[in-house]
Chains A and B, each alone.
Chain A
């Protein structure tokens, strides 16, 4: 069946990264820092034995959001509402874990399921809007994100606020309902996202649903002609995408922050990094996972660079953007020539 898409074949990606490194190096130089030292710090700060756990911890939500974006993209659809779905999942997870009585592990499991369900249904709303009323998901997913963020923000500022702290956040999740720690800072959320990544790969490569989604991505009219119900497929895919985003929100809440803090899920911009990683490979899952990991390493390394040199962390985001731009240029040129 389908191999890696051509845009992820080694030479072009390597060339794009090298180019980005050169341009980034020039920027670092302009900031008065030795570029070799900066890159050394990024590398050590992300991939050395000591920093690998931090990278994986950062990669867990980022790869999760990459998968949430990649799934619809694989079928030529787009989910720009990751932020909204993530906070809905995060809040649903937090509330379940805080208020549901019962044995801890069971409560945590139920909380995760509740998060996935709530966010999945919220994302499926966009599919319903397109199927029934012709509202493009490109617009509706993005616009549905703002009320979700706003309402969760209101809830934790007023009715659900932990009055003892004075901050816009919920009460703490009881320790028994938190995600199991593997070895600090890693928790079972990493395993969960890894399992979801495997599942997405498997569905894409081996199942009828994956085949139909891939074909839709290549030509939706052909998929319809072959008997695929595009409306139902869109609903299912958006539900799955939203469910993954909700799960990411709940994993952060139950695994590292232990409460829903207003804005805390969105500050690292996982949704947008994930979307970029997925766009880079047009939603092809293996490539998307790889790209998500790469961005996670880059961003984690950026913290180290900022610590060790005077170059600001924001540089890694610039690097990330340049990599994407170079890859996009290559693709654009390639498309026109063919």
Chain B
């Protein structure tokens, strides 16, 4: 069992203008411990990690490393003191090989030249010792996300990181890859390394950590020993209230096919097709989930369905009518509402008022517009109604949406799209980066749409979300829909294998 304190933060305060991102945060982590830092978006997790890794300097407070006070002026400083961090967005050179990425900045040399053979040998030795299977000469661009993550971890270990910060490391992994990562984490902890695991996923924190620290509004609200707590207690600490984690899903008998795709193919210039011969059908009163590791053609398929891209082959039908050649506006008229994956760069205009954001897509029809004239009163009234109905926390409908939290901005997008009352709803990663409360709300809304007899296509990288909401589950792998399962035949293991490109029989 761990005993000595490896790293300690005492009374960390960080202010950004009027916002106190970290308010007297204290944290002590023992050597060899796996410690979860949990909290909703905006709770101050990222700020705290940036401070520990030397990317930002605190306004007040101290950091003690093995009992000695340290002051990191930069990440290089922190790395020199044995810190390592794996960011959510990997920081690798895609055109270089694995070993080049790992030794970069600390290359073994022979004279003025890099000792390539020695570098390769060290990388292979390191990978073998930590059970992180990588091919040293592979080019990073060709690796899967899971392997790239291993490269990131090896990069930190190559510099002999004693403390490893992993920022939401499982977001991009299949369940099997996640289990592999957990094994590596346990192995590293057994070696006496300390791991800070930033996550918002309850079951993962329960599965792997020794202790957890929960942040809310920049403050530490709970310090829990994993073996003595429950997911319910953690959620209450994260949100400050109790949240219903299970969903009420009444049986609905699906009706007519409202959204259909037939043989959709989207070529990519000089490569494998991004989408290949994809067919799907979503019926009234049904939620169909598309599972898959990010980057396997889900986004492209959605873009083709909603009219943002033209397919090279195949057809899209809404309510039985062929809309393959219709533009976005025509498809919206035909009855598709769309919650896009990227709410900030596709689903909204951050510098524009909430009223105008909520009006988009309705700007050409009564009551908002008549004969090309926009009715400002109607735009504002509609916005006020939706803000109240969806409980969007915003000062007024005239305020720009750029200042909203992720959850509230997502509510703006969801409010706008649901108010179309369109027969078909395409929801792409509807709860990504959204806090527990807003996730609960959005899931409730999706089930509400289902109960109203609408057809919902749900694309999500979160298997738990797919499994909680869907009536049927499709799996996408390398642009193809490789499985179509009824909900009761789908579970994490089977979907995980399919997501990794393996057929079920072979497993």
B345 in complex: contacting residue of A206, A221, A223, A226, CB < 8 Å: A221
Given the complex, which residues of B lie within 8 Å of A206, measured CB to CB?
Answer: 373-374, 376
- Whether, in the assembled complex, B359 has its beta carbon less than 8 Å from a beta carbon of chain A, the answer is yes
Q: Are B350's CB and A218's CB within 8 A?
A: yes
Residues of B within 8 A of A19 (CB): none
Residue A69 interfacial (CB < 8 Å): no
Known: A1-B379, A208-B364. A218 touches B349 (CB 8 A): yes
Residues in A neighbouring B281, C-beta threshold 8 A: none
**A210 to B332 alpha-carbon distance, docked (Å):** 21
Which A residues touch B328, using CB under 8 A?
224-228
Inter-chain contacts of B348 with A (CB < 8 A):
219, 222
> Is B360 interfacial (CB-CB < 8 Å)?
yes
In angstroms, Cα B332 to Cα A1, docked, is: 24
Q: Which single member of B327, B352, B369 contacts A2 (CB below 8 Å)?
A: B352
**Beta-carbon contacts under 8 Å, B307-346 to A:** 308, 327-329, 332, 338, 340, 345-346
Interface membership of A326, Cβ < 8 A: no
Is A209 an interface position by the 8 A CB rule?
yes
Asked if A40 is at the interface of the complex by the 8 Å CB criterion, the answer is: no
Chain A residues within an 8 Å CB radius of B369: 208
Partner of A229, one of B329, B352, B373, B374: B329
**Chain A residues in 8 Å Cβ range of B355:** 1
13 contacts between A and B (CB under 8 A): A208-B372, A208-B374, A211-B356, A215-B360, A219-B351, A222-B346, A224-B308, A225-B328, A225-B360, A227-B328, A227-B332, A227-B361, A229-B329
What residues of B have a CB within 8 angstroms of the CB of A210 in the complex? 374
Chain A residues with CB below 8 A from B352, complex form: 2, 214-215, 218-219
B405 contacts the other chain (Cβ, under 8 Å)? no
Question: Does the CB pair A211–B373 fall under 8 Å?
Answer: no
B residues 359-406 in Cβ contact with A at 8 Å: 359-361, 363-364, 369, 372-374, 376, 379, 398
Interface centre among A210, A211, A214, A229 (most CB of B within 10 A): A211
Please report the number of residue pairs spanning A and B whose Cβ atoms sit closer than 8 angstroms.
77
On whether A207 and B349 interact (CB within 8 A), knowing A225-B338, A229-B327, the answer reads: no
Interface: A212 (CB within 8 A): yes
Known: A222-B348, A227-B328. A1 touches B363 (CB 8 A): no
In the complex, A229→B329 CA distance in Å?
8
A227 to B327, CA, bound (A): 7
Contact in complex: A219, B372 (CB < 8 Å)? no
B353 at the interface (CB under 8 A from A): yes
Is B345 within 8 A of A211, CB to CB? Answer: no
Query: Quick one: given A1-B379, A208-B372, A211-B363, are A222 and B356 in contact (CB under 8 Å)?
Result: no
Task: Please give me the 6 A-B residue pairs with the lowest Cβ-Cβ distance, nearest first.
Answer: A227-B329, A218-B349, A226-B360, A219-B349, A226-B361, A218-B352
Measured between beta carbons, the chain B residues less than 8 angstroms from A211 are 356, 359, 363, 374
Answer whether A221 and B363 are a contact pair too, CB < 8 Å, given A1-B356, A207-B372, A207-B374: no
New A-B contacts (10) at CB < 8 Å, excluding given A218-B352, A227-B364: A1-B376, A2-B356, A208-B369, A212-B363, A225-B328, A225-B347, A226-B360, A227-B328, A227-B329, A228-B329
Inside 8 A of B356's CB, which chain A residues have their CB?
1-2, 211, 214-215
Min CB distance, B21 to chain A, in Å?
15
Q: Mark A209-243, 1 if CB is under 8 A from B, else 0.
A: 11110110011011111111100000000000000
The residues of B that contact A214 with a CB separation of less than 8 Å are 352, 356
Return A204 CB to nearest CB of chain B, in Å: 11
Q: List B residues at the A interface (Cβ < 8 Å).
A: 308, 327-329, 332, 338, 340, 345-353, 355-356, 359-361, 363-364, 369, 372-374, 376, 379, 398
- In the assembled complex, the Cα of A75 lies from the Cα of B355 at a distance in Å of 19
Separation of A287 and B347 alpha carbons in the complex (Å): 28
Contact present for B329 and A219 (CB under 8 Å): no
B363 touches which one: A3, A208, A225 (CB < 8 A)? A208
How many angstroms between the C-alpha atoms of A30 and B104 in the bound complex?
55
Residues of chain A contacted by B340 (CB below 8 angstroms)? 225
- List which A226-278 residues lie within 8 A (CB) of chain B: 226-229
**Residue of chain A at shortest CB distance from B327:** A229
Q: State the CA gap A206–B376 with chains docked (Å).
A: 8
Least CB distance from A287 to B in Å reads 15
Q: Within 8 Å CB of A218, what residues of B? A: 349-352
Q: A219 to chain B: which residues have CB within 8 Å?
A: 345, 348-352
**Cβ–Cβ contact A222 & B372, under 8 A:** no
CA distance A209 to B369 in the complex (A): 11
Residues on the B chain within 8 Å of A215, using CB: 349, 352, 356, 360
| B344 and chain A: residue at smallest CB distance | A219
Nearest chain A residue, comparing its CB with the CB of B353: A2
The answer for the CA separation of A221 and B369 in the assembled complex, in Å, is 22
B380 to chain A, nearest CB (A): 8
- CB <8 Å contact, B308 and A225: yes
Task: Tell me the bound Cα distance from A3 to B376 in angstroms.
Answer: 13
A223–B355 Cα gap in the complex (Å)?
A: 15
B residues in contact with A226, CB < 8 Å: 328, 360-361, 363
- Across the interface, which residues of B come within 8 angstroms of A223, CB to CB? 349, 360
Roughly how many angstroms separate A224 CA and B373 CA in the complex, as a whole number?
20
List CB contacts (< 8 Å) of A187-217 with chain B.
206-212, 214-215
Closest chain B residue, CB of each to CB of A229 = B327
Contact indicator B353/A1 (Cβ below 8 Å): yes
CB distance from B4 to the nearest CB of A (A): 42
Do A222 and B347 touch (CB < 8 A)? yes
Smallest beta-carbon distance B363→chain A, Å? 5
Query: Complex: how many Å from CA A214 to CA B373?
Result: 15
CB distance from A132 to the nearest CB of B (A): 15
Could you say which residues of chain A place their CB within 8 Å of the CB of B360? Answer: 215, 222-223, 225-226
Which residues from 281 to 302 on chain A have a C-beta closer than 8 Å to any C-beta of chain B? none
Chain A residues within 8 Å of B379, by CB: 1
**Given the complex, which residues of B lie within 8 Å of A3, measured CB to CB?**
398
- Measured between beta carbons, the chain A residues less than 8 angstroms from B347 are 222, 225
Nearest residue (CB) in A for B307 is: A227
